[in-house]
Chain A
Amino acid sequence: MMEWETVIGLEVHVQLATRSKIFSGASTAFGAEPNSQACAVDLGLPGVLPVLNESAVAMAVKFGLGINAEIPEVSIFDRKNYFYPDLPKGYQTSQMHHPIVGPGEVEITLEDGSTKRIRIHHAHLEEDAGKSLHEDFQGMTGIDLNRAGTPLLEIVSEPDMRSAKEAVAYLKAIHAIVTYLGISDGNMAEGSMRCDANVSVRPKGQEEFGTRAEIKNVNSFRFVERAIAFEAERQIELIEDGGKVVQETRLFDPDRDETRSMRTKEHANDYRYFPCPDLLPVVLDQAYVDHLRSSLPELPAEKRARFQDELGLSAYDAGVLSSSRAMAEYFEAVKEVCGDAKQAANWVQGELSGALNRENLGIDQSPVTATQLGELVARVMDDTVSGKAAKQVFAALWNGEGDSADAIIDARGLKQVTDSGAIEAMIDQVIADSPVQVAQYRDADPEKRGKMIGYFVGQVMKASRGTANPQQVNALLKDKLDNL
């Protein structure tokens, strides 16, 4: 059987988090009444003209700097001409030949912790289209142009990915960069980040690329993986059955978990790109770019390196904790409060992530704040609570049954008992209550006693409702029993 290799390139559209649109002063807020945020410019009324939004430019440049891309001095807007009801002017203002961001690269982390560099061909600015609503409006389609003119950064990768998992890792890396930079909310459910995938297959070892299909509408991490896996499979089967892959656009149907060919148009599209005569060349001077560079926050790759080198975390922990801006910020806040990176990492990845996963929440939706968690970890570290009791405190915080770890520890009497007098009293009571076990212990071989002591530890811990320090209990018990 022939071995196949999948080749994937992604085009990611990121809505930039500007207040106003790319070419007009209308709001970009999501979810407004239809057409209430479509101004004269967005509607393409006769006579209107575009003026470029500075924030959109700054955000695009920041992205470029974040992927170590070349930022060309001059970029130019072109018109992409086609008719569609959600495209008010009959053209989309985009950048075809002189994009604002030149070639760059992104490092992705795979599940086994290894990394790979994915090259980015370029990223360009363009305007979003409106939305067609296909529900029944007197048997017609309704057009809402609120989204028309929202700034988009289209990020075009090289065909450097070789599996669906790599594509997902790439998409996650882009997501992390744009959210770290604060240039997009990255909300895929609201369409702030959308993805088209170019997929082809070739026999392993072959240089030449196979014919690719473009899959539209893969707008979640999960869909990207499923759509690419399906499409690669489809192409391999097709070729193995003696067929040929045709270059076409296919639509991913998440309900049926398949891609299908979009209706082929009678004539191929011819977008007739030409430079937009209403906009002038965008010229970025070095001082402006340097200023943006100096304002860049620490990005995922830098953070990961710092977590490893300065905080001493493992490569795996550093990768997980830097994977999103929200995660990294949470972790760093916990670390700040408790003063120990390793402990903070264990709690964020252990108890917290477990609870979040169970309830399918993002870290930014965690009911336990970083400060609360940090204080709890600090109480474990200073032996105020045992690890076991700490889990109870965490559960209480999670359920909103107290405002802080200390309050819950106090209210529930979970403070770890380290007073040896109090522990000795409990031990004496347990020994007095367990004559049979004490006799067995005394008669046993010294090497078997170690195992038998567990019973007494359990009884003492039970008596202390988990608050006694287990190491202390262990040592005191051994001493007492051996000297009876």
Chain B
Amino acid sequence: MHDKTLTELAAALTAGEFSSRELTQSLLGRIDALDGELNSFITITAEQALADADRADQARAKGEAGPLTGLPLALKDIFCTEGVKTTCGSRMLDNFISPYDATVVEKLKHAGTVCLGKTNMDEFAMGSSNENSFYGPVKNPWDLTAVPGGSSGGSAAAVAAGLVPAALGTDTGGSIRQPASFCGITGLKPTYGRVSRYGIIAYASSLDQAGPMARTAEDCAWLLGAIAGHDLRDSTSVARGVPDYREELGASLSGLKIGLPKEYFGDGLDPNVEAAVREAVRVYESLGATVREVSLPHTHHAIPAYYVIAPAEASSNLSRYDGVRFGHRCDNPKDLIDLYERTRAEGFGEEVKRRILIGTHTLSEGFFDAYYKKAQQVRRLIRQDFLDAFEDVDVLMGPASPTPAFDLGAKKDPVSMYLQDIYTIAINLAGIPGISIPAGLAGSRPIGLQILGPYFAEPQLLNIAHQFQQATDWHRQRPALGEENA
């Protein structure tokens, strides 16, 4: 059961091959057997999952099942889930039982899905390796000495390891696409505003966006349809109809114009990654696409701009963790300032503090114009690069990450870690959608192809990814885990 896609599982449930309870039990057993090593889950909600599965089976028996009814999923632990611990990977929220559901969680519950648990992540979504979690690092199922990527590393690893067929992640600077690439799965970051942010614990509000992580583009299309849409509780969510993303799958790619940004094939790109990406592009040519080189001249300013904007927003977003209304509170505060300073010193990990300090510094008097305002101006130039490129081509393709998954503990220096995100970060600054799909292996470590499109081009991106998956079987590759134990 654990090898099947959402689409296949839905068919099996409909055909009565097995019940949602049997499926849920089987996956919970697999989590029990394998996740001790992988550490992809922070919280496993077994009891609730079985109850939800039973409800789904009853609905099916009564003929009331919808397309997603009874399908198991996992949620990055950044989504607020009522009555369930929601930690955001932080000691600060280790005791936080959310009193409400995020909008996307409501939608998934409404669709009848079964949530198996909350997945591990870099603390407050700050990281590219999942090593910044209060709950310990996640291991890459393809190679237990490698990182799964971050910040949605738990979701990526759980899907890759067959613990769950699909999961939700969030992407602020690459946090869906990069771990999807490192773990050999498909991950989509939708257009900013496509999916409601209400109930998603904020890192950098103008960049955060939730999206699906699954084995295939088809599954991502299905899941995106379930979570996308306008939300009256999120001012930045877009009032725009949600297409049937699965209906768009199947359109021919003949005449598709692909642009390869030359800046995405420069220094620091691993030759294995480059070879895999170029090979993937050749597959697209064989499917009728034409390819040309384009330029995104401000690419190299994306990382500095991001590391001004995101920490600035984060420094303010994370001020609410003050030990007063929820979350960690230090013991015996002697006065108010002590309550604040010790609660926050104890509750936040090193990377979170680093970004809060950077953001606080760059927003403070005398620095605002030089950093924040400048970064926002550069942000406009970066967006313009993409708008210009999409005048000439339909989509852009390139690597999701300059290298395959690196070793756990390999990147001690924050700046070298930040530079990992060179191919993903500009996409968040521009707010356009992007998808990463498996396109090769470097030894045992997967390689991801990233496809970028104009605003709200999710249907096209998903179809383009789907066509690749019809023509190749990189997405069917599975890591060799200790199956005999499962």
A–B interface present (Cβ within 8 A): yes
Interface residues of A (CB under 8 A from B): 40, 43-52, 79, 81, 83, 85, 88-91, 143, 270, 272-274, 277-280
Task: Give every chain B residue within 8 A of A81 (Cβ-Cβ).
Answer: 315-316, 319, 363
**A47/B234 in contact, CB under 8 A:** no
Of A51, A52, A277, the contact of B205 (CB 8 Å cutoff): A277
Q: Chain B 410-450 against A: per-residue CB contact (8 Å), 1 yes, 0 no?
A: 00000000000000000000000000000000000000000
Interface members, chain B 38-84 (any A CB < 8 Å): 79-80
**A272/B363 in contact, CB under 8 A:** yes
Interface residues of B (CB under 8 A from A): 79-80, 86, 88, 93, 96, 98-100, 102, 197-202, 204-206, 232-236, 312-313, 315-316, 319-320, 322, 324-327, 336, 340, 360, 363-365, 368, 372
Closest A residue, CB atoms, query B360: A272
CB distance from A177 to the nearest CB of B (A): 30
**B235/A52 in contact, CB under 8 A:** yes
Of A47, A52, A272, the contact of B198 (CB 8 Å cutoff): A47
CB within 8 Å for A46 and B319 given contacts A83-B340, A88-B325, A277-B204: no
Task: Give every chain B residue within 8 A of A279 (Cβ-Cβ).
Answer: 235
Bound complex: CA A38 to CA B364 (Å): 30
CB distance from B240 to the nearest CB of A (A): 15
Bound complex: CA A270 to CA B316 (Å): 13
**A46/B326 in contact, CB under 8 A:** yes
CB within 8 Å for A49 and B233 given contacts A83-B319, A89-B320, A274-B372: yes
**A49/B234 in contact, CB under 8 A:** yes
CB distance from A148 to the nearest CB of B (A): 11
CB within 8 Å for A90 and B322 given contacts A51-B235, A83-B340: yes
Task: Give every chain A residue within 8 A of B368 (Cβ-Cβ).
Answer: 272-274
Bound complex: CA A428 to CA B394 (Å): 114
**B326/A40 in contact, CB under 8 A:** no
Bound complex: CA A83 to CA B201 (Å): 20
Bound complex: CA A273 to CA B372 (Å): 11
Of B98, B312, B325, B364, the contact of A44 (CB 8 Å cutoff): B325
14 of the cross-chain contacts (CB-CB < 8 Å) are A40-B99, A45-B100, A45-B326, A46-B96, A47-B80, A47-B197, A47-B200, A81-B315, A85-B336, A90-B316, A90-B322, A91-B316, A274-B313, A274-B316
**B325/A43 in contact, CB under 8 A:** yes
Bound complex: CA A347 to CA B484 (Å): 100
Bound complex: CA A277 to CA B233 (Å): 14
**B364/A46 in contact, CB under 8 A:** no
CB distance from A24 to the nearest CB of B (A): 9
Minimum-distance CB pairs A-B, first 9: A90-B319, A277-B205, A272-B363, A277-B206, A44-B320, A47-B199, A46-B201, A47-B80, A89-B320
Task: Give every chain A residue within 8 A of B327 (Cβ-Cβ).
Answer: 46
**A85/B320 in contact, CB under 8 A:** no
CB distance from B353 to the nearest CB of A (A): 15
Of A48, A79, A88, A143, the contact of B316 (CB 8 Å cutoff): A79
**B372/A47 in contact, CB under 8 A:** no
Bound complex: CA A247 to CA B200 (Å): 43
Bound complex: CA A134 to CA B314 (Å): 32
**A278/B320 in contact, CB under 8 A:** no
Task: Give every chain B residue within 8 A of A280 (Cβ-Cβ).
Answer: 235-236
**B324/A143 in contact, CB under 8 A:** yes
CB distance from A285 to the nearest CB of B (A): 17
Bound complex: CA A48 to CA B198 (Å): 6
* Beyond A47-B198, A274-B316, 19 extra complex contacts between A and B, CB < 8 Å: A43-B326, A45-B98, A45-B326, A46-B96, A46-B201, A47-B102, A47-B199, A47-B200, A79-B316, A81-B316, A83-B319, A83-B322, A88-B320, A89-B319, A91-B316, A274-B372, A278-B236, A279-B235, A280-B236
Residue in A44, A45, A50, A280 whose Cβ sees the most chain B Cβ within 10 Å: A45
